[in-house]
A = this chain, B = another copy of it.
């Protein structure tokens, strides 16, 4: 059982939690045990996993004593509330929230980009923001060949980023509008169906929302490059589940389009989708449920001799969240990076 791991999922009923369980199953994660944790409100409900009905337990001080890895996707406040208990119990928390991402003692990891950052964890590893992961996957392979100087990105973010309830709300709103009724907005401040709006996270004094600052700051941290310049405009669009991004890259020297295409054709976790004859490129409907980030429309930036333009779509819940978290867990197991308690099992 030395390679088997005791896992707890904190927040198992949400959109990301559901996907975490699916991935633990389909990727045959070496589970010694699986514990589903949630607030007392949902405790007692059951979730089917590998043919067995698992009962959701209310999280408490003793929940983590027999756990090696906690996959947390219950939001920042829940992660902050339980992190000390988790770490003191000897488990590693792989946290989907933004609570610890910019903490200098917490590695922020995309396994295809900076796996070695995991070596120095102190019990907490942060899973990056979804748009940042998808962007990083597409541009890191290019950055390795010739450093990117500047990134200007505009996002097209689906409802799933705001959770399962927001996805339902988008559908309910669309039906209301089709029936010529007034759409109701609860998860979002404004109706999203047949509409779009700037990402509604808090704005800083420079006018950037949190989502945009995550793309800027997290990209620098994951790339371990404080010099890379990033600007972002984050927009919520009436798509259910996959995010898209229009990415403008500036290099120090010209970067041949053909070279970029060759690099991305074989990059891990990336699928090049470019059928120029049929005007067929990455679309959310194709990225949904896929592990890979779909990248295409790689072309010379006509406004800058050292620029490239590209377009990407990726499943926000999968590589943008749950898949990346499970990959981090796999990395910990493979490289014996569980904490002493776990190693001693």
Interface residues, chain A, CB within 8 Å of chain B?
A: 150-152, 154, 156, 170-171, 174-175, 178, 189-191, 193-198, 200, 202-203, 206-209, 216, 229-231, 233, 235, 237-240, 244, 246, 248, 257, 276, 278-281, 283-285, 297-304, 307, 309, 311
In angstroms, Cα B342 to Cα A225, docked, is 66
CB-CB under 8 A from A195, the residues of chain B are 239, 283-285
5 extra interchain contacts, Cβ-Cβ under 8 A, other than A154-B154, A195-B284, A231-B309?
A152-B248, A229-B302, A230-B302, A233-B311, A238-B238
In angstroms, Cα B231 to Cα A302, docked, is 5
Which single residue of chain B is at the shortest CB-CB distance from A298?
B207
In the complex, how many angstroms separate the beta carbon of A195 from the nearest chain B beta carbon?
Answer: 4
Point out the residue from B171, B238, B278 that lies within 8 Å of A239, measured CB to CB. Answer: B238
CB-CB under 8 A from A208, the residues of chain B are 299, 302
CB-CB under 8 A from A209, the residues of chain B are 279
Point out the residue from B154, B237, B298, B301 that lies within 8 Å of A196, measured CB to CB. Answer: B237
Number of copies of this chain that the complex holds: 2
Does A231 contact B156, Cβ atoms closer than 8 Å? Answer: no
Does A233 contact B309, Cβ atoms closer than 8 Å? Answer: yes
Does B239 contact A194, Cβ atoms closer than 8 Å? Answer: yes
CB-CB under 8 A from A156, the residues of chain B are 156, 196, 235, 237
CB-CB under 8 A from A231, the residues of chain B are 248, 301-304, 307, 309
In angstroms, Cα B52 to Cα A289, docked, is 55
Which single residue of chain B is at the shortest CB-CB distance from A299?
B207
Does B175 contact A283, Cβ atoms closer than 8 Å? Answer: no
CB-CB under 8 A from A298, the residues of chain B are 207
In angstroms, Cα B198 to Cα A309, docked, is 13
Point out the residue from B150, B193, B202, B280 that lies within 8 Å of A303, measured CB to CB. Answer: B150
In the complex, how many angstroms separate the beta carbon of A260 from the nearest chain B beta carbon?
Answer: 11
In the complex, how many angstroms separate the beta carbon of A289 from the nearest chain B beta carbon?
Answer: 14
In angstroms, Cα B150 to Cα A292, docked, is 33
